[in-house]
């Protein structure tokens, strides 16, 4: 957070058929703890922390958010609060990443951390990593994938898969989302991912070269998935 910015923590709430449970309650308490942490930091760095905003849980990962949430017992429109916010931390039961991406496109000043399913235990594990070292690792993999035309996977069973990476570019989610970061202002936390999708053969007369065998263990049974031209 930078001086003068506004920070908002977002949580979803159980209702009707969406039964509350211990992990969900722990996450809401974690949100309260993080708000206190932001407030302590705000006293030193001169930014503002809003009261926690709640909304009725969607019941589905990446389902559309409601238009209205609640803050300190008062209804407030998502559009209104996001227009004034700079950092949004969504500590939710159901992932809100997809709709938050749409809000980030609508309000380019937003920096959003989506944290579905986050738990207090992650504060000592996945959230406690050295993010600079993690970013270095992600960027190293990004460099390798950027120059690659394929990836070959050797399974411990001896089976192999060849993934065609023509016409594809890797994406990086390295947990870095500073004020001057370019591109879409949304990350997942915990972070630490460099990913790429295989070419699917959508260009005429250029079939996908993805082929091989994927072993799938089902209890004591092993199924072998045979792939040719990116199709099972």
Q: What is the three-class DSSP state of 159?
A: coil
Residues linked to residue 171 through DSSP beta bridges, in sequence order: 195
Q: Which residues of the chain form beta strands (DSSP E)?
A: 6-13, 48-49, 53-56, 68-71, 74-77, 87-90, 111-114, 150-154, 160-164, 171-173, 186-188, 193-195, 211-218, 221-227
Residue 23 scores a pLDDT above 90: yes
pLDDT in tens, 161-209: 999 999 999 998 888 899 888 888 999 999 999 999 999 999 999 999 9
Measure the CA–CA gap between 82 and 100, rounded to whole angstroms.
10
What 216-224 contacts at long range (C-beta under 8 Å, 24+ apart), as own/partner pairs, is 222/157, 224/159
pLDDT of amino acid 196: 95
Please, what is the average pLDDT of the chain?
95
Q: For residue range 114-171, list pLDDT tens digits in order.
A: 999 999 999 999 999 998 999 999 999 999 999 999 999 999 999 999 999 999 999 9
For 102, the token pair is 């749409």
Region 36-43 average pLDDT:
96
Burial class (CB in 10 A: 0-12, 13-18, 19+), 192: middle
Specify the pLDDT at position 173: 87
What whole-number distance in Å separates Cα of residue 218 and Cα of residue 26?
A: 33
Q: Which residues contact 35 (CB under 8 A, 6 or more apart)?
A: 9, 49, 51, 52
pLDDT of residue 184: 83
């Amino acid at each position: 957070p930078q001086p003068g910015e506004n920070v908002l923590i977002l949580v979803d709430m159980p209702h009707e058929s969406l039964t509350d449970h211990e992990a969900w309650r722990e996450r809401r308490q974690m949100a309260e703890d993080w708000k206190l942490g932001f407030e302590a930091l705000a006293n030193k760095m001169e930014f503002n922390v809003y009261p926690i905003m709640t909304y009725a849980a969607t019941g589905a990962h990446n389902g559309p958010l409601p238009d209205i949430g609640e803050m300190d017992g008062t209804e407030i429109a998502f559009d209104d609060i996001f227009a004034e916010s700079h950092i949004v931390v969504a500590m939710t039961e159901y992932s809100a990443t997809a709709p938050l991406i749409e809000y980030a496109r609508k309000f380019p000043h937003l920096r959003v951390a989506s944290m579905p399913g986050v738990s207090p235990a992650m504060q000592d594990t996945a959230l406690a990593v050295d993010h600079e070292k993690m970013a270095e690792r992600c960027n190293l993999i990004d460099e390798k994938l950027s120059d690659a035309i394929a990836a070959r996977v050797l399974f411990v069973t001896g089976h192999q898969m060849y993934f065609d990476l023509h016409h594809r570019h890797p994406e990086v989610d390295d947990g870095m989302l500073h004020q001057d970061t370019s591109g879409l202002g949304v990350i997942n936390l915990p972070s630490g991912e460099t990913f790429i999708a295989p070419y699917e053969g959508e260009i005429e007369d250029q079939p996908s070269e993805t082929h091989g065998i994927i072993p799938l263990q089902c209890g004591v049974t092993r199924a072998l998935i045979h792939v040719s031209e990116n199709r099972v």
